[in-house]
Amino acid sequence: MSRFKDKVVIITGGGRGIGKVLAKSFAREEALLAICSRTKKQIDEVAEECAKDGHKILSIPCDVSKQDEVEKLVKEVMKEYNRVDILINCAGSFMMSPSLLTDISEINAMYNNNYLGTFLMSQAVGRIMIAQGYGKIINMASLLSFIAFPERASYAASKGAVLQLTRVLGVEWADKGINVNAIAPGMIKIETPHPIDKTEFTSKIEQRVPAKRVGTPNDIVGPIFFLASEDSNYINGQTIVVDGGWLSYGYL
């Protein structure tokens, strides 16, 4: 029997990339799923794909940076399932910009998409989990929560905030039966409007990473499953780096 059979799982950003792969993976584990995204077409397509294999998924449009939409999402999930066992905060966005040219709107977009959405979802679902006395919240940090690249000031700061939020909620809710942890992916090849191609930059990254390759969304599934399972019940406020050894590597 699957360890996630009939577990109620919410995945934000479930319409593409890592979130999409996680949705399909939890569906195969027979979880009771709700996925959200600002783009309804994307999450509907994921739900339809899973339905072909006999898995029902709630697809709910939601901008997680807006509190009213978050509350509506959680209300719909509770109406359908009456509880939430696992929350995976996968929604987010990325941008590059020279710091001297970065506009305040770009800073706000990174803050809202990456940090605020994670906070609002954790807060709304956290209330339910605390009442239940049990729950798993998994956030999506980044390698840039730890290190710096040029022209990523807004993105790196927002992901640094996610790492610190994970620590705070992890220690604040630990005695209430809630585990809050995070995954920090390195470079992951995903389907986006700007996919990772075999450019000079990515070739250098592959040479730099001890595993000699960039990651895939499937590399994230196992660590997520671990943090979502009872195997991680004594882990709180931690961030697992999934980067092929990049962060640990000391050579140029």
How many other C-beta atoms can be found within 10 angstroms of the C-beta atom of residue 183?
22
pLDDT in tens, the chain (252 residues): 688 999 999 999 999 999 999 999 999 999 999 999 999 999 999 999 988 888 889 999 999 999 999 999 999 999 999 999 999 999 999 989 999 999 999 999 999 999 999 999 999 999 999 999 999 999 999 999 999 989 999 999 999 999 999 999 999 999 999 999 999 999 998 765 444 455 666 777 888 899 999 899 999 999 999 999 999 999 999 999 999 999 999 776
Do residues 30 and 2 touch, judged by C-beta distance below 8 A?
Answer: yes
User: Can you give the residue ranges of every domain in the chain?
Assistant: 8-242
User: Which CATH architecture best describes the domain 8-242?
Assistant: 3-Layer(aba) Sandwich (3.40)
Q: Which tokens sit at 52? A: 């072909």
- Distance CA(167)–CA(130), nearest Å, equals 17
Residue 159 near residue 145, CB atoms below 8 Å:
yes
How far is Cα 90 from Cα 182, in angstroms, rounded to an integer?
Answer: 10
Decide if 26 contacts 38 (C-beta within 8 A): no
Query: Which of the residues 111, 115, 155, 249 is marked catalytic?
Result: 155
Determine whether 155 is an active site residue: yes
* pTM for the whole structure: 0.94
